[in-house]
A and B are shown apart, each in its own frame.
Chain A
Amino acid sequence: MSTSSSHSWNQLSPDPFTVLRARQRQAVTLLGTIFFGWFGLFLTLAAAAPAVMQTRWGPVSLGWVYALTLIPLAVLVALAYARFANRVLDPLRTQIRSGAVVR
């Protein structure tokens, strides 16, 4: 995005806490949208369009298959965030804390 490229040009040393917040917001926005979108669609279809959820493909129905996709989706979103937090957010935090000692 434009903000991520601009800060390195406009400011010589961006406030590390601002960087931490920006990185976290990016990850959370992406993962949150995927998650709430997929779960929200499920709940909306179950509530408002039960006929669609009953669509059968041979032995299985759309509703049950959709329900079973929710479990791996939640796991994948959680693992993605955990990995991002370990690799990106935690080092940034350590940097901010150690920076305070120098200041």
Chain B
Amino acid sequence: MSGLDAQDTALALFGLIVVVTLSVTWWAARRTRTSEQFWAAGRAITPTQNGLAITGDFLSAAAFLGSTGLIFLFGFDGTIYLLFPLAAFVPVLLFYAERMRNLGTFTLNDVLLSRFRNTVIRRILAVSTLVITGLYLLAQLVAAGALFQLLAGVPFPVAVMVTSVIMLLYVTIGGMLATTWVQLIKAIALLSVLVLLIVLAIVQIRGGFGAWFAAATAPAGRINPARPGNFFGNGWNAFSTGLALIFGVIGLPHVMMRFFTVPDATSARRSATRALLFLAMATFMVITVALAARIVLSGQSGAIAASGNINVVAPLLGEMLGGGPGTVGGGIVLALVSAVAFATILAVVAGLLINASSAVVRDLWPQRGGARRAADGKGDPEVKRARIVSVVIAVVMACVTVLAGPKPYVSVLVTLALGIAASANFPALTLTLFWRRFTAAGAITGISVGLLSSAVLMLLGPTLWPGAAPSPVSLIDPTIISLPLGFAGCLVGTWLSRRRGAMEPDEDAVFDAMRRRSMLGPDDGVKPSPAVSGSDSGQLPASRNQGAG
């Protein structure tokens, strides 16, 4: 009876979301012919649209479902998972957004390659991109499967397959334009659902925000939600996770990729500002929703903690606020929250897939001459290869997810991906932009050391360690060790290559030209003088990123 109604409503809403987003994909397909259209949406996204899309990337299953659950169960510790990704946008805005747009073509990797034209760097960055997006994809697909299974009664493997197929349709048919619009639609839907939950909560819970806040953070059961350390156990874990979240975002390929979909650096800066504003609203609302859940669902915290599935807190809160289990209102709100959470996952996995395929097609296995042949009207071979690679990646990831099963905490898995991004990509990216004496060898060593150390520490850590016994490493997140190691790798590699005398003849001129271009863009006010421009244009990517009509 009513339980079935909620499932039917949820499935109908899932269907509606899929139909709407696939229509958008169809529309985008007609605007996706060249590689610039496929990877960067033709550079025609506006700052507000891009800001919303970036917000959407962050409001993944981890942020919306995972953080709500973590705050609900553990209190204070959960806020770190929300506040630090938001915080990351301040350094992104101050140091990275404009520079990356000025230097890169399609991806984060292009930025490093604009200074060091080095095949090894290209390959190794592609590997780190694949590892990061792979872990992130795993987290999202696990969440999708668990959600689908719980709310629609579909078995986990089937749910994962359905999600993967829809993700593939977005990416292969509509490219980055479809991926961006799906993300936009979902961001608006999710923000609206958060507003709805808060309005319902304000209507139902008596007292003002102060009384609310006091009730939600008062000790309940064995947990004192005001105490740091309920989830992390010790300070090292908290610190490490904070570092991973703030610096991981800067090295996160699928989010940084969005800064290349706008026409110029000023638009990139405005995207970052707007993303931060939208994210600030969202963060505030998710925290409020989680606090409301602590009041409304206080009777069920024991059962939810025992089940280990913290991702159901937000949907269950919706059900309670709509009128309770078994009522029509409860069923509708439950279905709405679940459907939007599902849309969230779909939008995020699409962005991840397109990013992973760019790493393979453009960096791991590049082929020349695509743009020229595209101009002949025969279709861009790079786009064709991107579609094939996307299918392969999606199949592999779906199988891995089914094997992994619905267990792990989604927020923690995402933080592992961020930890790798913070340890492997962030140090090399930062030193490439700001350190004159940095060398290609330094970048290679730094990326490898960061990648290997974070990956090994994770495999030995409590989240991924397969054995039943306590894992050899007790850190939940390895960033506090692997991020300094990544920087140390960069420094040692640079020092060793300098000692061997690997000084390029005009590397000062190359650095100066890169710095100038990073702040001014392609039109950097320097007339090409023969002495400098030879090395300059040789070091920079050929594409000058004209905004396409």
Contacts and interface: CB of A to CB of B under 8 A. Distances in A.
B526 A100 contact: yes
Interface stretch (B132-140, B210-218, B465-473): B210-218
B68 to A, nearest CB: 15
A74 B520 contact: no
Given A43-B238, A85-B269, 5 more contacts: A39-B87, A78-B273, A82-B269, A97-B520, A99-B525
Contacts of A56: 226
Contact of A54 (B227, B284, B519, B526): B227
Contacts of A24: 519
A12 interface: no
Contacts of A93: 519-520
A97 to B, nearest CB: 5
Contacts of B438: none
Given A78-B276, A103-B527, A59 B235 contact: no
A70 interface: yes
A75 B283 contact: no
A71 B83 contact: yes
A20 B525 CA distance: 13
A7 B309 CA distance: 62
Nearest to A70: B83
Interface string B251-274: 000000000000000100110110
Contact of A47 (B90, B214, B236, B283): B236
Interface string B308-330: 00000000000000000000000
Interface stretch (B91-99, B192-200, B342-350): B91-99
B273 A79 contact: yes
B228 A97 contact: no
A44 interface: yes
Contacts of A47: 228, 235-236, 238-239, 242
Interface in A28-47: 28, 31-32, 35, 39, 42-44, 46-47
A20 B519 contact: yes
A79 B276 CA distance: 9
B180 to A, nearest CB: 22
A78 B276 CA distance: 8
Contacts of B76: 46, 53, 61, 63-64, 67
Contact of A46 (B93, B213, B235, B287): B235
6 tightest A-B contacts by CB?
A59-B214, A47-B235, A100-B525, A61-B226, A47-B239, A50-B228
Given A35-B90, A47-B235, A82-B273, A64 B95 contact: no
Contacts of A54: 224, 226-228
Given A21-B519, A44-B239, A67 B90 contact: no
A81 B525 contact: no
Nearest to A47: B235
Nearest to A85: B269
A49 to B, nearest CB: 8
Question: Dominant SS at the A interface?
Answer: helix
Contacts of A1: none
B90 A74 contact: yes
29 contacts: A17-B516, A17-B519, A32-B94, A44-B239, A46-B242, A47-B236, A53-B226, A53-B228, A54-B227, A54-B228, A58-B214, A59-B210, A59-B213, A59-B217, A61-B217, A63-B76, A64-B76, A64-B217, A64-B226, A67-B83, A70-B86, A74-B89, A74-B90, A74-B280, A78-B90, A78-B273, A78-B277, A81-B273, A90-B266
Contacts of B474: none
Contacts of A20: 519
Interface string B236-253: 101100110010000000
A44 to B, nearest CB: 7
Contact of A78 (B89, B266, B284): B89
Interface string B66-97: 00000000001001100110110111011100
Contacts of A64: 76, 79, 213, 217, 226
A60 B270 CA distance: 36
A35 B516 CA distance: 26
A97 B273 contact: no
Given A48-B235, A97-B520, A60 B283 contact: no
Nearest to B272: A78
B276 A70 contact: no
A17 to B, nearest CB: 6
A19 B304 CA distance: 58
B217 A31 contact: no
Nearest to B238: A47
A46 B226 CA distance: 11
B370 interface: no
B525 A31 contact: no
Interface in B355-371: none
A96 B523 CA distance: 10
A21 B288 CA distance: 41
Nearest to B284: A71
B520 A50 contact: no
Contacts of B87: 35, 39, 70, 74
B94 A97 contact: no
A58 B226 CA distance: 13
A43 B523 CA distance: 41
A23 B83 CA distance: 29
Contact of B277 (A17, A32, A75): A75
A46 B228 contact: yes
A61 B228 CA distance: 11
A43 B525 contact: no
B238 A46 contact: yes
Contacts of A97: 520, 523-525
Contacts of A60: 210, 213-214, 217
B519 A81 contact: no
Given A78-B277, A85-B269, A39 B91 contact: no
A47 B273 CA distance: 29
